[in-house]
Structure 1
Amino acid sequence: MTVHDAAYDRYFGLLRTPGQLLTAPVVAAVTGDLPHTGLTGDRRGALTEGMCLASRIVAAGHPRTPFGTEPVDGLPDPLRRWKLGHQVFHLLLTAMNSGLDDALAATRTAAWPSLLHGMEQLRLLYDAATAAMEYASDFPAAVYRDEVRPTMAPPHLPPGFSGAFNRDHRVMVRRMRGLERSVRALPPDVPPLVAVHRAAAALHSAQRCNRRQHVRICRRCVPDGASLLQLHLAQEDLACDTG
């Protein structure tokens, strides 16, 4: 784990103690908060279904997939929601990485029913991750600017804090690309694989929706488009130019 990874885990309260399995607290906290959000019924349903599915997957893989989070009670409501949303995103990513392991193994052994089932679950988890992003940022943009974003900057954290420090997401992206390559290499016209390619298309659609939603959230919360990491790097470049 890098220093940046550790800062990400510490800020969002992500625990990785070997043998640990504590999914219920964060699921209960988000479920209890959902009625107080502006999420649509479809988004709430997707997040609820995804949290339940992720909890089952993580439990089935335990202790290979340790999971735990620190409580965020007592924080101001927007900051509490921001951190809870990222905690449940961590749960979803933990389940996705476990599921991707199984899906990649299924492609190697030609276990097509298992691959199909795994890809359908990954789509549900992706839809839930999209809803989790919306949940985490469900407050006015001015609140993000004035109350939430400053908690990710010095003196609270080292300069240049970024979501790129989420190591679970980096692992997921690598494994997802590997699965995409493996599925593309499969013949498209073999009867048992028609459903697999159809599931792959549905999963890709969920990925595109996730990316579009992330862009919309970033544009709403940070209209100038400059992340904390970009600002930090720009300041470093300026210091080098003037030094």
Structure 2
Amino acid sequence: MLWLAPPQHLPHSLATLRQAASRPDRHRTPAGHRRIPERDPREAVFDEYFAVSRCACAPAPLLIDALDETLTAVRAFSRHPSGSLTEPDLELAAHAAGLPSRTARCEPGAQVTAPQRWIQGHRLFFALTQATVVALRHALRAPSAAGSALGLESAAHFLRASASALRITASFDTQDYHDTVRPSMTPPHVPRTGFSGLWSADHRVLVQSLSEWGQAASAKSSILRPAHRRLVDVLTDVHHAHVGVCSRFVGSAPSLLRGAEPGAHVLDRLCRRRRAALTVEPAASPALLPDAQGENPSLHR
């Protein structure tokens, strides 16, 4: 079980994450968590599928533990046998959160099934999404341009790692996706039809946080414009990763949620529209985001 705080309770400062990452008791077995039931039944179904529970605990230590746990799990199948990383942005994200880099080699002969990769990769994606929310909140509320820039750069690190997580999560045969993964997201394995990343509570709050930053960006210092543009570019990279995964697994087939239109076509159209919107200056940046009902930057279902 992966324990995460309800995303609306996440902190507003990156310092809280780094303090949590440096606490001396971080690797001790935590006390029993008290589960908070989700109010939205779709979000409850989504969390249950990925073995995520929401906890009434201090959110920063909970997120750091989740990042450490999911990064450790995913590192096992994102390294070459030599020990080198196939996705080094994961280590940059760990550093941005205050976690140490890991250089351990993967165990010879270690095997990860497609469903295991799907679950573990998504859980890393959720933790990185929460870290991005914290970084954006930091950027929005920092008292100085330098503080806001730190938040934006950290958000970009977490989003780059999210794109890496998408690629790692989907690094298995297409046939395995159709034989085992996709059926697991349909009834009777899940109680609702149309299973989708749109049901992610973490994504819902990420969209809100990005929108808040977009609305405030025009009032911030022009010094932040380069960092803002880098954030825009990284969001586009996440969309590209999403479209690439969808095209490989789904092709011309519809998504589990969107009906008859091919999933890859939907994502491609949305990505092109958003890339055009994301090229504007910060004064117009509220257009950089979909609303809460738009497609999410997670893997296409």
Aligned-pair identity (%): 28
Q: What amino acid is aligned across from residue 92 of structure 2 in structure 1? A: E
Matched residue, 1:160: 194
Between the aligned partners of 1:54 and 1:138, the Cα distance in structure 2 is 25
Q: Matches of residues 72-221 of structure 1 in structure 2 within 5 Å?
A: 77-106=113-142, 109=143, 111-157=144-190, 158-186=192-220, 188=222, 193=223, 196-221=224-249
1:48 to 73, 88, 91: 91
User: Unmatched 5+ residue regions in structure 2?
Assistant: 1-38, 100-110, 262-301
User: Unmatched 5+ residue regions in structure 1?
Assistant: 57-74, 234-243
C-alpha distance 126-10 of structure 1, shift in aligned 2 (>3 A): same
CA contact (8 A) 1:159 1:232 kept: no
Between the aligned partners of 2:137 and 2:112, the Cα distance in structure 1 is 38
* Secondary structure, counterpart of 1:15 in structure 2: strand
CA contact (8 A) 1:103 1:118 kept: yes
- List per-residue Cα deviations over 1:65-100 (Å, max 9, x = no partner): xxxxxxxxxx96110000111100111011111222
1:230 maps to 2:258 = yes
Q: What amino acid is aligned across from residue 132 of structure 2 in structure 1? A: M
- List per-residue Cα deviations over 1:17-46 (Å, max 9, x = no partner): 121623233221111221269xx95x5100
* Secondary structure, counterpart of 1:33 in structure 2: coil
How far has the Cα of 1:187 moved from its partner? 5.5
Q: Which moved more, 1:172-181 or 1:44-53?
A: 44-53
CA contact (8 A) 1:54 1:92 kept: no
* Secondary structure, counterpart of 2:164 in structure 1: helix
CA contact (8 A) 1:51 1:88 kept: no
CA contact (8 A) 1:54 1:91 kept: no
Between the aligned partners of 2:260 and 2:48, the Cα distance in structure 1 is 20
Between the aligned partners of 2:229 and 2:128, the Cα distance in structure 1 is 20
Question: Which aligned runs of 4 or more in structure 1 are off by greater than 4 angstroms?
Answer: none
Between the aligned partners of 1:78 and 1:221, the Cα distance in structure 2 is 13
TM-score by length of 2: 0.62
1:2 maps to 2:40 = yes
Between the aligned partners of 1:12 and 1:131, the Cα distance in structure 2 is 19
CA contact (8 A) 1:129 1:210 kept: yes
Between the aligned partners of 2:215 and 2:225, the Cα distance in structure 1 is 12
1:29 to 73, 77, 84: 73
Matched residue, 2:52: 14
Question: Relative contact order (alpha carbons < 8 A, sep ≥ 6): 1 or 2 greater?
Answer: 1
C-alpha distance 223-229 of structure 1, shift in aligned 2 (>3 A): same
C-alpha distance 166-55 of structure 1, shift in aligned 2 (>3 A): farther
TM-score by length of 1: 0.76
How far has the Cα of 1:128 moved from its partner? 0.2
User: What RMSD over aligned residues (CA atoms) do the two structures have, in Å?
Assistant: 2.4
Q: What amino acid is aligned across from residue 42 of structure 2 in structure 1? A: H
The structure with more helix, counted as a fraction of residues: 1
